Structure formats: structure tokens, C-alpha cells
Structure 1
Amino acid sequence: MGKGRRTMMNLLVVDDEKFAVKGITVGIDWSDMPIGGIYEALDVEEAKRILSTQRIDIMISDIEMPGANGLQLQEWVRAHSAHTETIFLTGHANFEYAQQAVRLGSFDYVLKPVDHDRLHQIVGSAMEKIRADQEQQEFHETYKTYYQHWVSELPAIVERFWQELLGGKIPANPERLLRHFQMYELPLQIRSTILPILISVEHWKEALNARDEEIMEYAIRKAAAELIVAEQQGCVIQENGSTLVLLYDAEACLSEQEVRRRCEGFIAACNRYFQCSLSCYMGSYTALTDVAVRVADLWQAERNNVTRSNCVLTEAESADGASGRKREAPSFGDWSVLLEAGKKEELIQRIQETIARYQGEEIGSETVEAIYYGLLHLVYQVCHKKGLAVHDLLPPQELQDYAGATRSLHQLQNWAIRVAVSCCDYMNEHLKDVSAVTMRVCQYIETHLHEELSREELAAAVYLNPAYLSRLFKKETGLSISEFSLKVRMERAKKLLAESNDKVSAVAEQTGYSHFSFFAKMFKKYTGLSPQEYRKSFQG
């Protein structure tokens, strides 16, 4: 309730003398006060009935009444209508009464005969107290609601804090860090140490869409909190698409062997329940100011590991694996032939055999990258040769999946097989009879009939060697390029001669012949008739 808002209140007057009650309810002008209802009671029982059915904000009650008195009524009010403010009236200046009224939480105590102006003033003060209490209550309710929201969002807030700290958005300044620790209720001090553990999912055994994968990654983070952090202080956050565990001040109670044991149990549980393979990269206990550097080392360790899977790797073990030797990428010559011919099964087998040869060796990430870029170059090369656009064969996510494809040999093999399947399926579906290059040459000739085209010009249009283009075209159409060009020109000339009244010389120009005599000679050779004879025979 905002300040200054007038809220209507209800008033109850209790006295065994009816004229005393009327003197207050009728004899005092309450019109200048926000009073919504005025109620009267001649004894305690009647007052209780009203209090039980109506919200009474202010009660003016006599103390001395037959049967139950006003003090007994106030005890009942405290238990059943605690918000009600009570003003007592009495005809005796009895100090003991005053003490008991105060003890029972009454608002004020007035002697009879009642001064109406004085009582009016006291009721006004009671109303101000009620409004202040209501505002305070509403503030506490609002604060409580938002505090509960804040508490429920605290894990996400803490996760964002760590992400910003690791990303350099929050300076590792001791005073600022301490302020964040207090604000987010983190059990850390400036001298605290952090043990980072990077969890890298290497392979999902079941094909998942983006939504399902996000759900499973959430499940992995929850499992990491339960099995790795356990009773230890710490948190699990999402960082750069992977899961990062941060253990707080665990150096005194968790040995490296114990952390490894927890990570191994976590990996086994994920293998069983989440149908995935993953590895844990263990850092070492480090100061808060150096956490970002230590986590960056873990990212590098993950990048260098392309052969080991489903394991726990410490910093020392990761450093040993980083020295994997570079090996030459395979020759892609036979892959190119298989891809161009659409031999899907043979190409997949060749990919699997190649990756299998590398599996047992300590190779580095450079070798994996060389295979990735080699296959990608092969696809572009074949598309160029066939006159195709790469995006017709492969979706953008496959062309841009460098991070996923080069994470490990297993991921590389999955990516390479997906590429092989997409490309071969496209080749088999669209290039069964005539290749895309041949189709483009045919279209180019048909749209440039009015020009004199050379073999070199056609080859340049499809980015191929002229000799290779001639062989390819003859193989796929059964005609040489010159024979096909003549056929297209003559068929076009026949149509123009039959369906239009254009001069024969104009028809010659439209079909790419600058000399009428040469056109007439080629037309007669092709049809057995001169252009004029063909037109007359058609018209006849």
C-alpha cells in the first residue's frame, strides 16, 4: 500500500450501556475519517460474533461490563483478530486496569466521561498506526516474495558470476571478489583455492536432436553435482558448451586419488544411464586469481587429446598426451574416385579403415585437423569438377562443424561418414545419366546460340580443362561438343523457319552464323534441304 492511500476501515464500539455506545457511534462526527462501517455491541459475546464475521480494524471497548469484561474480550481479540487495535474506556482511574490493558497490547486507555474530541484524535492516531503497519507488512511480503525468487535463481546467478570471471569480464580484484562472495553467499575467501575439472562429452551413442542433447547435458551437470561435488562445497557450471566442476577449498579433505575415484564413478554412471562417452580433465588446486588460466589449460588439454576416451586425465597425463607425434594424412586419391562415382559403402569402409589405423597411435590434433581439411578439400574439388555447389550436397552445419569434427578421432569418423553419405546420395540421385557439368554445358550452348562458341570458351565457363571436358561430354552424351552444338543450332533454325516469317539471313544470325552461305551449307548437310526448300515444304 503506498503512502497517502486512504483505506476504508471498520469501527466497533462495545459497551453495556446503549446510550454510551450511541454517544460514540452517532454523537461523534466520523465523516472526515476513512471509516467504512461502524458496528455496535452491548456485551462481549455480541462483540465476538461481529469480530468473527467482519474485519474490525479499531475496537473501542468499555472495561467494566457484566459477565465477561473488556480485558477478557481483548485476550480473545489477540488470539482471533490480532490486527485489531483496541482503545479501552473505563469510569475508574484504576492503575491496575491500565497496566493490564497495556500488557494485553491495547492502543490507548481513556477515562470516562469521554472527551469526544480526544477520542476522535486517538482513533485518528490508531488509523495512522494501522496504515503504517499495513505498509510495513506489504513491504515484508514483497521482499519475501522477491527474496524467494532470488534464492531460486541463485544457482544461475552464481554460474553467470563464474562465467564472467573466467571470461575476464570481472577483474580478479580481491576487494571486488570478496564483495561478490558476500552478495552471492559463496563460502569463499580471498585465500581460498579452487580445483577445476573439465567434463567433455565425446560421443552420444543415440542420435539426439538439439533439444534432447541440451536436456541430457543438463542431466550430466546434475550427476556431476551429485557424484563429484557431493558433500563438498562447490558448483557445476556450463562453459563453452561443456561442463565445468569447481570444488571450493577441498585441498585439505580431498586427495587427488579421491577426486579421481569420484570422476571415474561419474564416467561409469554416464556411460550406463546417459548412453554417452566422456572424459574428465582434472586441474590442480589453484588460487582464485589464477583460476581462469588453469581452466584455459584444461581446454587446451581437451583439444590435444584425440585418441583417449572415457578416462580421467590429470594435468601431467594431459601434458604427456599433448606430445603425440604428427603423422601424414592419408592419400585422398582413391576417396575422390569413390566419391565422384557415388560408391557410398566402399567410401565409408575406406574411412573406417583409415581411422582405425590411427586409433592405436599417439597422434596429435594436427593430424586430425589434416584429415578434416583434406576431406573437406576433396569435397570442394569433386563439386568443382562436377559443376556443383557444395551447399547442394552438404548442409551448413556439416561444413562448419570444425570444433565437433576435430574433437577426437571418433568424432572425426562420425563427421566423415556423414559427409560421405550426403555426398554419395546426392551423386546417385541427381547424376545418374548426365553429370551436372554436362548439363551446364548444354544449357550454356542453348542460351548462347547467337554466338560462335569455341571449345575453350565452354571449358572456361565450367572451370575445366578443354580436353577433359571433350572426353566427359562425348562419354555422357554420345556426341562431341561440336556435334551437339550443330544439332541445337539446326533444331533451332528449323523451328524459326517453320514458325516465323524472318528472313533466312536473320535466322542464320540468330543461330550463330555470321555468313549466310555457310549456314545454308550446314543446314542442307543436316536436313538434306536448303533453308528455302525446308520453309516451302513445311508451309506446303
Structure 2
Amino acid sequence: MKVLIVDDEEHVREGIKLLGDWDTHHIESIIEAENGEQAIALIREQKPQIVFTDMKMPNMGGIALLEWMKEHTPHTKTIVVTGYDDYHYMRKAIHFGSTDYILKPVDPSILNDTLTRAVNEWHKEENERKQHNNSYQLINEMKPMYRDRKLTQIINNYVLQNAVYEELGFHSNSEYEVAIIRVDEATIQAFGGDRDLAYFSILNVANELLVEKENGVAFRYLSQKGEIVMIFWDHFSEIKQLLNKLHKEIFLAFNVCCPLAKGRHVESVSVLLESYQTAKDALLASNVLADSCVEFYESAGSLKRGSVLLNLMDYNTKIVEGMQIGKIDAFTTIFDEVKNAVKQANYLSLKELLHIEKEYQLLSEHWLKKYEISYNAQSHYEKALAAFFDVKGRFDFDRYMNRKQREIVRFLNIVKRDKQKNNRDIIYEIEQFLQMNYDRDVKLQEIAERFYLSREYISRKFKQEFQENISDYIVKVRMSKAKSLLKNEQLKIYEVANMIGYQDDKYFRKVFKKLEGLTPNEYRQLSV
């Protein structure tokens, strides 16, 4: 695995090289560039999996580099490292898909936490890519995957052999239109969380209608998660009617409202992607506050005139003030302004909603790190929104905002608590909790929920403080209690075992001898 560090200051590059825990992640090569131009040349030659980049550099800065990478190396994970705590840069980092945004001087723990997350994400996505590649090799056994892949390539303007078009049932024509069926997380949940079943079921309904008309094909679009694409090559005047019928049949069959959108008419297979993009724009412009379940969206012209994309970053000054005051009242104005802006317009596009949630998650991580509060990573922003959509595709904006308000209240309470006692005190509180509950099976998750800390953080800090992990510590506490109880000759060995949390006295005897060098009976005889 390779890492590229891009910064015009040599001491910064050396600092990152020194602080990074590279061996843990099997990173064998660290290469360096002084600006974006050098970085692009090295990326083309060396193909690093992780790139750390500054934002302000001579010749070509970080924003231009991120933009180039999004287009040419979308699988590479990027981490922005800058001395400017500027939300303009943070917003650009979000837009171009950066894994994280950390500030100079670089904190070693933050650097390595971010590195770990980037490496894990890259490996996860790489495994998914390999699984797809393996699937494609089994064409005869995995025809649906092969078909989806080839049709995805057609949309993306790959030139295929004529025999492949015929095999797919794709009609070479001079005119086409593309439509999208959005399979969002709310739809997946309607199928019990089974993503493959959701795609299979919806595709069956779509292709049955297309076979009947012999005017198109539907497939799972592999270039974009959560989408089924339909390509039409005939009966264009009937497409709207067909999409209306498809929408109704999906709802009647599965009780879910899948958003549909139709793209513009194109006159060549080579520009199918343009028809797809206009359909995508129409989908993103859809109003999630609409009272009724819209059959389909036709063009981005449905975007409300004068609508301005809401940005939480625009409220940065008020957010900073609210954090300094530490009271939820300070955020009331922010919530009211956002609510009023949306309700007055009675319009919130899907694009705006996805953008708001993505910004909210990034801001949350920023403030949690700033106050050095351990936290569990939030789910993907689309998954986080799924719970607020009903079966008709309507978004409950009030409930969503109330949830965010409760999350901020909880965060402020944690900040307040952490100001009153440091983390070392909390670890000793956990130790006292274990001392009082040694006789039952205490799970790490229970401790995490009780003390509002992540399991990983608790395990690491506990071992740092007591030089042993929690499970070994509990065993030692139990053995200490056992030795006291064994001095009472009226208690049988199995009773002592039960009293300290072991239901199996044979296992208790084994553990006791391993730690004390004597069996419980031998220890009792020596103690009398």
C-alpha cells in the first residue's frame, strides 16, 4: 500500500511521515510532492491508495488537485491537512469526497485515527470491487451481474462488440431516452434490509412492462449506488404512461414509493449519459416535502425558481458562539432560521437534504474532535435519512430537525460533563463499576452506553491505566473474591464459583489454578 504526502513545506511532510503509524496498516511506500502538479504526475506513475494534501500550495493548490482526483482516481482516499480552519476549504473537501479534514499542527492521535478510517474504507471498497470483478468472470452462473455490468458500460459510453448488444437484447437505434428508479435506504428497509431482494423485485416489475412493449431494458446501474436505470429505444410517446404504470405497480406490490425520473431525448447511443444526467438532475430537484407520491420527475425545470442551496457552513459563526456558551438556547435561532426557510418555501430538494445531512455529519465530527470526545462513527448520510421517509416518499422535516436538536443537547451535556472531570477519572469510575458488578457478565457495549464512550476508546484507555485488558481485570477481581470466600469452609466450591459469576465450577477450578498455582481445595487447606 502506498501513501502520497502533498505539501510545499518540507517540515510538514517530514512531520506526517514521523507521526504516522504506517507499519500497522502495512504501508510500504511513502512518496512526497510539493504541489498539485507534482502530485498528479506521481499519482499517475505510483498509483497511491491514500493521499494527504495541503490546500494552499504554489502552482497548483489542493482544491484543484482534489477536483482532478475525483474525476481521474475516484477510488483514492484523500485527507486534507491544512493550517487554515476555514469552512470554505472544508466545504470543498466535502464536495470532492475527502475522507477527512485535519488541522496543523497535526495531532498524532487524530492523524492516526483518520489514517485508520481511510485505510479501512479503502480496503472495504477494494474488496467490493474485487467481488464484482470475480462475479464478472462467472458470466454463465451470474448472468444478471454480467448483464448489469455490460448495460452500465453502454450508459458510460463503452464500445462493445455487436454480439454483446444482441446477447443483452439491446436494440441499436438512432434515438433513446433514459429513466432512473431510485432505490433508497427507506426502500431497502421495506424489503427487510435485503438490498439484493429489493433490486431483484423492482427490476422484475420494470422489465415485465418493458418486455410487453418491447421498447427498452432495465438494469442495476453499477456506477451509482441505489439506482436502477431504464433505457428506452421505441414508443417514446408512451414512456410517460409506462412510468406512471410502473410507479403504481411498485407501490401496489411492495407498498413503497420509489422516486422515478425521465431524462431528455438523445439521438445516439454515445450520448446516453447525457440523458441519464438530466434524469438525475430532475431526481435531485424533487421536493421531499411534497404531500403526494409523485409518479415521476421529468426535468430539472421542476427546481423551484429562486431556491438557494442550504449550507450549514453559512451558520458557522452562530455555531461557534453556541459551542462557547454551551447551552441549547444558543442554537434555537439556527434551528428556527433553517425551519422557517424551508417551511416558507414549502420546498426542500433531495439534493439540499443530502447536502445538509452530509455537512451535519462532518461538522459533528469536527466538534467532537475539537473537544476530544470519543465517539462512534455515524452511518452513511443516506442511511441516516432513511428513518425520516414514509412509504410514500415524504420526508418528516420536523422530526428530522427535532432529532438533530436532541443530538446537540446530548453533545452539550457530554461537553459539560467532560469539563468537570477528565478522562482518567472516568476510567476509574469504570473500574469501580466493574468492582461492583464482578459477579455478572458485563459486556463492553453496556459500559460504552453507560459512560457515553466508544468501546475502542474504553479498551485502549483502560489498558493504558491498569496495564491489562478489562476481561483479565474482571478475572483477577473474581479470583480475589474467591480466595476470601474459600476461607469459609461451609461454602462448597460450586457455590463459591456461582457467587463470583461462574456457572461452571469446572471452568472456575481451571481458571483459579492457572492464576494461583493451586486448586481451590488446595488453597482452602493452606488457608485454614
TM-score norm. by structure 2 comes to 0.41
For the pair shown, which has the larger CA radius of gyration, 1 or 2?
Answer: 1
